[in-house]
Structures are given as structure tokens and as C-alpha cells.
């Protein structure tokens, strides 16, 4: 487990514009991961686009296995998907040359802002607006976004907002916003029980004016951009969880093979060894699902229901195995200095972020052809 540094001062590269209280963030860990070239894989011209995704997922898995903090790794997954992926795929040449090099080096930090207090799962009910001024060619963005991972340390946020042109609703679009722009206010949320070292915050946007060229994809096509990046966020974030789960299984085996009760090793009790075998079964299933998704990407096949299914299985398995590993340790598992309890708390968020598991099930149901609209 990496040691967490005290705080990232607002003047650090990538710090948000609020200048508010410093946010506890493992900036050294961020630097270690970015300096290792982990972000650069997504733009490696020696690799095909599908191999960039495959290699990035493999790196996330290694980082999870190595014991990097899960909050830090979620910040990394968000950075990779929210801005690097979306700008490389949907950005103008101007936007790419202005931002991508510093995003790849980790000097800039990316985030994406979809959620609002009244629009969680129901993304399309968002109230944030982007008003196009035909005369100036600029866009004015207004709204309030909540639960935004990386907001307190982000240099750039992809904001999703409903676009109005000449008074007409043109649908939701995605815009890159520099957090130092006038009209951007960032508030760091209190540290949450789950993923406490993943910086999270709110974004207040008041007449933030940006050029139209900072839009990603076509006007009104924001939900397509979101769909594309969320699939990548799920692959990266849950690959890290698979790495972590693999280490958890190994630690559980070592514990069961060393702790004695009733004159036997715990491993000799079938209910214990079967519980660890179940951890392996879930881990193997999740790994196979991610591998299948990566193969489908390579073959240009749709991955919608496969990503939804993998997200459900891996996040549920991560929580179940974290609880099981805690119980295996008996009282030691719940001692104040135990890492097992934090492991359970961190795993609790998995079924919620990147689209809740219930919403993923509605997606699968629709893809299976179930008449979900009545």
C-alpha cells in the first residue's frame, strides 16, 4: 500500500481553481504512476487502438495487485477515460495539441461532470445548460455538478450540458472546461468512507465562456461520448479491482495456511477452503469477461451488454470477497488498524459509480430485447 501524502497544494499541477483547503491526495503516487508511462499507453503510436486499451487495462490490473490505493486508482481510471480517451476520440486537432501532451504526462488532471443533485442515474434529466452565441461563436455554460471524481485536483473537466442554440434544445453535448476559467468554482467534498483518497467534489459553473471548438463530438451527441468513455472507465477501474482481488486471494490463502484453531490449519476446514475457492471462481469469471470484452473491441464488435455484465459481476465479487477476507481474519479483521475494513468500505462504492448495477441491468434487459418500456 502506498503511503498517502498529506495534501496537494492548490498550486500543484492539476490543482483545481478554487484555492480552497488542500485536499488529501497521494500526489507522489499519481506522479509515480504517470512517470511510469501508464497514461501514455493510450496514445502509443506503436500500438493499435485496441492494444492501447488492452495494455492500459493490464497496467491497471498490475497497479491493483501491487497494492496502490483503490481511491488513487479510481482517480487514475477517471483521468484516463474522462479526458484522455474523450479528447483523443472526439476532440478537435486544436484541443488535442493543447491538452493531450500534459494529460499524458500527468501534469494536467482530468475529470468528467455528469451528475447533478436531481440527475443521478437519470442522466438525461440534467439541468446544466450550454448556450451557443452564434455571433461570437462562443458557448456559455451554467450549472452545478456533484460527486465529481478528481474535481478538487482537476485542471480540466469534461462537462455534459444541455445545449441551446437560438432558443432551441439541441440535446446534451460534452465540453472541455479549464478549471481556471472565470466562473468555475470547485468545492472539495468531505472525505467519504468509501475511497477516501479519491478526491471528489462539486463544480459550480456560472457563465463559463468557452470556444465552440472545445466541444467533444457533434452538438447534441454528448450521450454518445459519455457511453464511449464510460465503457473505458469500467474496463480500467474494474481491471484495477481484479488485480486487487487477486492479491486478496493470495493473502487469504497465506492466512488460512498459517492460522491454527482446533489443532488444525484453517485451510483444513472445508467451509474455509471453499470460501477461498469461491473467491477464485468469481475472480476468474471477471477476468474472463474483461478478456472477452478486449477481444470484442479488437474485432470491432459491440460491447454494451458485456461491459454492463462485467461491471456488475466484478463490483459485486469485489465486495463479497472483501467481506469474506475480513471474516476469515476473525477479530483481527475488524481491528481499528485493519486494512480489511477499509477494503470492504472501498468495495462498497463499486456497484454505484460508473452507472449503478441496477442501471447496468436495465441496459442488459433492453439489449436482450425485453420490452422494458411497457
| Residues classed as catalytic | 233
Could you give the C-alpha distances from 249 to 51, 134, 233, 254, 343, in angstroms and in order?
Answer: 28, 58, 24, 9, 13
| Torsion angle (degrees, nearest 10) of CA 154, 156, 160, 166 | 140
All three cell numbers of 289, joined, read: 469477461
Stretch that binds ligand FAD, among 111-119, 135-143, 182-190, 328-336 (CB under 6 A): 111-119
Nearer to ligand FAD, 17 or 78 (CB): 78
Could you give the C-alpha distances from 63 to 68, 74, 326, in angstroms and in order?
Answer: 6, 11, 22
Site for ligand FAD in 159-198 (CB under 6 A): 195
Rule CB under 6 A: say whether 127 interacts with ligand FAD.
no
Contact 72, 197 (CB under 8 A): yes
Rule CB under 6 A: say whether 38 interacts with ligand FAD.
no
Binding mask 67-96 for ligand FAD (x = CB under 6 A): -----------x------------------
Residue number of the CB atom closest to ligand FAD: 120
Rule CB under 6 A: say whether 115 interacts with ligand FAD.
yes
Length of the chain: 374
All three cell numbers of 137, joined, read: 461563436
Output the smallest distance, CB 97 to ligand FAD, in A.
25
All three cell numbers of 77, joined, read: 481510471
First to last CA, the chain: 49
Could you give the C-alpha distances from 184 to 69, 145, 168, in angstroms and in order?
Answer: 29, 11, 25
Output the smallest distance, CB 149 to ligand FAD, in A.
3
Size of the site for ligand FAD (CB under 6 A): 20
Stretch that binds ligand FAD, among 31-39, 214-222, 236-244, 358-366 (CB under 6 A): 358-366
Rule CB under 6 A: say whether 366 interacts with ligand FAD.
no
User: Which one, of 305, 157, 174, 282, lies nearest residue 231 by Cα?
Assistant: 305
Stretch that binds ligand FAD, among 49-57, 174-182, 235-243, 348-356 (CB under 6 A): 348-356
Rule CB under 6 A: say whether 362 interacts with ligand FAD.
yes
Amino acid at each position: 500500500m502506498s503511503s498517502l501524502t498529506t495534501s496537494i497544494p492548490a498550486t500543484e499541477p492539476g490543482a483545481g481553481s478554487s484555492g480552497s483547503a488542500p485536499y488529501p491526495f497521494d500526489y507522489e503516487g499519481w506522479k509515480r504512476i504517470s512517470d511510469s508511462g501508464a497514461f501514455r499507453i493510450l496514445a502509443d503510436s506503436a500500438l493499435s487502438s485496441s492494444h492501447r486499451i488492452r495494455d492500459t487495462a493490464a497496467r491497471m490490473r498490475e497497479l491493483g495487485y501491487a497494492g496502490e490505493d483503490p481511491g488513487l486508482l479510481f482517480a487514475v481510471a477517471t483521468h484516463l477515460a474522462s479526458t484522455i480517451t474523450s479528447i483523443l476520440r472526439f476532440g478537435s486537432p486544436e484541443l488535442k495539441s493543447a491538452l493531450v501532451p500534459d494529460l499524458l504526462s500527468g501534469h494536467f488532471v482530468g475529470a468528467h461532470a455528469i451528475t447533478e443533485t436531481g440527475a443521478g442515474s437519470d442522466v438525461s434529466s440534467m439541468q446544466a445548460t450550454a448556450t451557443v452565441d452564434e455571433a461570437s461563436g462562443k458557448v456559455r455554460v451554467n450549472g452545478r455538478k456533484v460527486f465529481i471524481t478528481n474535481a478538487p485536483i482537476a485542471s480540466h473537466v469534461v462537462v455534459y450540458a444541455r445545449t441551446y442554440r437560438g432558443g432551441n434544445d439541441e440535446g446534451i453535448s460534452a465540453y472541455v472546461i479549464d478549471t481556471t476559467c472565470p466562473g468555475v468554482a470547485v468545492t472539495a467534498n468531505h472525505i467519504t468512507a468509501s475511497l477516501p483518497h479519491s478526491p471528489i467534489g462539486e463544480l459550480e459553473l456560472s457563465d463559463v465562456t468557452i470556444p465552440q471548438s472545445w466541444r467533444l463530438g457533434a452538438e447534441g451527441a454528448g450521450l454518445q461520448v459519455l457511453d464511449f468513455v464510460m465503457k473505458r472507465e469500467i474496463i480500467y477501474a474494474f481491471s484495477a479491482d481484479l488485480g486487487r482481488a487477486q492479491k486478496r486471494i493470495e493473502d487469504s490463502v497465506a492466512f488460512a495456511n498459517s492460522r491454527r484453531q482446533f489443532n488444525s490449519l484453517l485451510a483444513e476446514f472445508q467451509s474455509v477452503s471453499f470460501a477461498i475457492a469461491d473467491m477464485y471462481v468469481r475472480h476468474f469469471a471477471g477476468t474472463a469477461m474483461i478478456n472477452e470484452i478486449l477481444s470484442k473491441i479488437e474485432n470491432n464488435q459491440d460491447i454494451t451488454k458485456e461491459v454492463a455484465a462485467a461491471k456488475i459481476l466484478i463490483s459485486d465479487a469485489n465486495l463479497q470477497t472483501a467481506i469474506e477476507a475480513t471474516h476469515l481474519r476473525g477479530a483481527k479483521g475488524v481491528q481499528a488498524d485493519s486494512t480489511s475494513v477499509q477494503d470492504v468500505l472501498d468495495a462498497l462504492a463499486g456497484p454505484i459509480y460508473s452507472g449503478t448495477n441496477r442501471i447496468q441491468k436495465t441496459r442488459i434487459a433492453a439489449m436482450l430485447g425485453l420490452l422494458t418500456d411497457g
